[in-house]
Chain A
Amino acid sequence: MSSGVLKLPFSPISRSLIHRASTVQSIASSQTKRPLHISSGDKQVTKKTQITSEYEVVDHTYDALVVGAGGAGLRAAFGLSEAGFKTACVTKLFPTRSHTVAAQGGINAALGNMEEDEWKWHMYDTVKGSDWLGDQDAIHYMTREAPAAVIELENYGMPFSRTTEGKIYQRAFGGQSLQYGKGGQAHRCCCVADRTGHSLLHTLYGRSLAFNTDYFIEYFALDLLMEEGECRGVIALSLEDGTLHRIRAKNTVLATGGYGRAYFSCTSAHTCTGDGSAMVTRAGLPNQDMEFVQFHPTGIYGAGCLITEGCRGEGGYLINSEGERFMERYAPTAKDLASRDVVSRSMTIEIREGRGCGLNKDHVFLQLHHLPPEQLASRLPGISETAQIFAGVDVTREPIPVLPTVHYNMGGVPTNYKGQVIKFDEKNGQDEVVPGLYSCGEAACASVHGANRLGANSLLDLVVFGRACALTIADEHKPGEEIGELSANAGQESVANLDNLRYANGSTSTADLRLRMQQVMQTNAAVFRTGPVLREGAKKIYDIYGEMSDLKLFDRGLIWNTDLVETLELQNLMLNAAQTVVSAEAREESRGAHAREDFKDRVDEYDYNKPIEGQEKVSMDNHWRKHTLSHQDIESGKVALSYRPVIDETLDAKECSNVPPAIRSY
């Protein structure tokens, strides 16, 4: 496929051409503000669209399209361009502003630089961490490819921290062990000082430019373009000039990140709005395991900045509205240093029972001012700053308002270990690949994290599955391959929705509705889950969903319309929120990050507390070691659930045997 690009100078004449026609060939120029790209002439769609005459629509054609330019998206985009595919990357943010930049931890890989290590031990740790909800073929794939993926990054120029001998330095991280859990702490986390995320983005973005990837920066992807059950691209809105772009591609990769912003307190940036998982829902496809949301016990109320456990390790403690050090009641021995889930649940129970602090009695306090100021300054410097900036609190004098904070979404778009999006055929009990659609990163659910993600496995997930999507596409497709046609009105519903929102004149502002949704999620679908609480949450979310038709926007334009884009993001968040709370309500067990007070045990096909011999295997309908699939009807907002079995077999039993389920204890 020729990559010939027509270059016209940016002149008044060419400008007026763009504005006159309703469908035009986009024009590439090093002088225009935003490099739009022409595709090779014979593949260009030039027919007039019937969408609407008010909206200017530009059509593009590519071999591959990646939505999202974080760690996973950039790795996929770079891999695809390197393999010769004409690749476009659509992103609402400049790549180095993706939330991946927040990652300060590192990437787990069994390189064995600090001690003898084997990827099979990493595989065991990950399966156990997932509480046996992870698909073992995907985990086998990820942990096996981890060393190669890290070496590859090193070869691309990523400046990992080094030992004195010059090998990549690896540090300890929670949940990583040697010898299948029997050999003590493993040191597998490779990092770039404290800026691993930034370094990853910087390295990958730079590399991808050398291979001529086309970046559509500050373009908001609205919806997938599905024809005959196949994904043929995406329709996106350019924030800069309000034009709509239908990008037709043989292969579309969703790497849009998580949906932390569905909750009031989350560590995610305000960009994490679950755009990919929402697009998939609107395309009639399911999301998987949405109820599994990882919490960290102490984040600053609302702002979400994490307060490390080190604070409590240094002597800080949690108090309720009565000034009581309540952890003494919940964990008499460990007190404030009990495990994360115990601390999170205790905080939530205090709030539920009316002993919360603040005007709305909706948080607790972390007290540090009884500690000597020198200790605070030297051991916990960052805390003083964040407390001052976001809570207006001087930690040497006042306590900090804190709340269990959302940190990661294990759920997302279901894929197989190759990164292909799947749906489940209940009749024959088989996974079915959705042609043309792939997903990777936090947006996807491969599922490698299962019910609970281990630290430093998330960056690994991005890199391995971003690469896997690129490899799968390169294996199964060729550049220049024929793409199915788009119907003349492809993307029409997205434009109609955009138009509706733009002129919305109801009575609620986006900000108000969003806040109410976030508060419901924080109260009803957070750490403390019981049947009544979750049912109340589901009902409230459905009510709020209904109120989306009564929104009021003030910006009727199309250029840099933050009001409109935040409303589109709210639509996306709503879908994610509803699927989360409904899936959680249905799952009557406690597994990993999903902990229910009324169903405290894990319900598997066998009772793993006892030997399996002599036990009768319970049918899938009667146990919970299965993936939740959630479909949603856009009109009514109603969520429909179905289930899919966990994949217990590894890719190759000879290479790596599977880890049979057991009780998870650390």
Chain B
Amino acid sequence: MSNFRFCAALLRNTFANTKQQKHYFQNYKFFYSVKCCRFGTSSGEYVISTPESLVQKRARLLWQSRKRGIAENCLIFSTFSAKHLNNFDEEQLESYDKLLNQPSNEWDIYYWMVGTKPVPETYDDDLMRMLQEHCRNERKEERFEQPPLNYEPVTK
């Protein structure tokens, strides 16, 4: 019975909504582009297609810095963004956006910042060097909790 349902579903999906289905299949390989057109078309390019004010972008990146998959990255990115995010120019914000949202494995990002694994060319930029310096922590800061919020609210 479940086989029948499966075939029916497959047929339905194939014919009833081909345009949307194609969208998903196109993006199956580059599934991050499903999130929004931010991260690419079927060619895999990194493209920002929706206008976002800088204030809005910073507010979004702040949320995305504080909420990660592993506690290590939550602390590293929240302390880093508290120091730098409000001063980043557009280019730096784009680079940060890319690092926060493109890689799929949180551990990879951690290992790149800490120096355990080599950084892929696409992320090997000034931002990565800033993060690596932040992780070297030569000033021996204590990072036991996330810092207070200091972002500019988005007013409609």
Contact = CB atoms under 8 A, between A and B. Distances in A.
Contacts of A565: 63
A599 interface: no
Contacts of A33: 36-38, 49-50
B70 A303 contact: no
Contacts of A31: 37, 49
Contacts of B31: 205-206, 209
Given A35-B34, A560-B63, A562-B63, A392 B20 contact: no
B67 A93 contact: yes
Contacts of B149: 511, 554-555, 562-563, 566
B17 interface: yes
B75 A390 contact: yes
Given A30-B23, A101-B69, A303-B71, A212 B13 contact: yes
A35 B36 CA distance: 7
B39 to A, nearest CB: 10
B123 interface: no
Nearest to A569: B67
A559 B153 CA distance: 8
B67 A270 contact: yes
B34 A515 contact: no
B128 interface: no
Contact of A386 (B6, B72, B73, B153): B72
Contacts of B122: none
A659 interface: no
Interface residues of B, number: 69
A372 B27 CA distance: 51
Given A84-B9, A302-B144, A303-B144, A560 B71 contact: no
B20 A305 contact: no
| Max chain B Cβ within 10 angstroms of own Cβ: one of A83, A101, A474 | A101
Contacts of A16: none
A298 to B, nearest CB: 15
Interface in A1-47: 2-5, 7, 28, 30-35
Given A34-B36, A557-B155, A303 B66 contact: no
A96 B63 CA distance: 16
Chain A: interface residue count, which band? 35 or more
A559 B105 CA distance: 27
A340 interface: no
Interface string B37-49: 1100000000001
Dominant SS at the A interface? loop
B153 A515 contact: no
A612 interface: no
Contact of A209 (B34, B38, B155): B34
Interface string B52-83: 00001001101100111111111110100000
Given A31-B37, A93-B67, A562-B63, A5 B136 contact: no
A2 B105 CA distance: 36
B5 A83 contact: yes
B154 interface: yes
Contacts, number: 209
A202 B153 contact: no
Contacts of B143: 303, 389-392
Contact of B148 (A100, A511, A559): A511
A92 B66 CA distance: 12
Contacts of B63: 218, 239, 560, 562, 565
B153 A556 contact: yes
Interface string A231-247: 00000000110100000
A559 B74 contact: no
Interface string A194-215: 1100100010011001111001
A303 B104 CA distance: 23
Contact of A301 (B62, B75, B144, B153): B144
Nearest to B101: A94
Interface of B: 2, 5-6, 8-9, 12-13, 16-17, 19-21, 23-25, 27-28, 31-32, 34-38, 49-50, 56, 59-60, 62-63, 66-76, 78, 101, 104-107, 114-116, 135-137, 139-146, 148-149, 151, 153-156
15 contacts: A84-B12, A93-B69, A96-B106, A97-B68, A101-B105, A210-B25, A215-B35, A218-B63, A269-B71, A270-B78, A385-B115, A390-B143, A392-B137, A511-B149, A559-B59
Closest 7 CB pairs of A and B: A302-B144, A392-B140, A84-B9, A560-B59, A101-B69, A555-B153, A559-B154
Given A31-B49, A82-B9, A563-B153, 7 more contacts: A30-B37, A93-B69, A198-B107, A269-B68, A393-B140, A560-B62, A562-B59
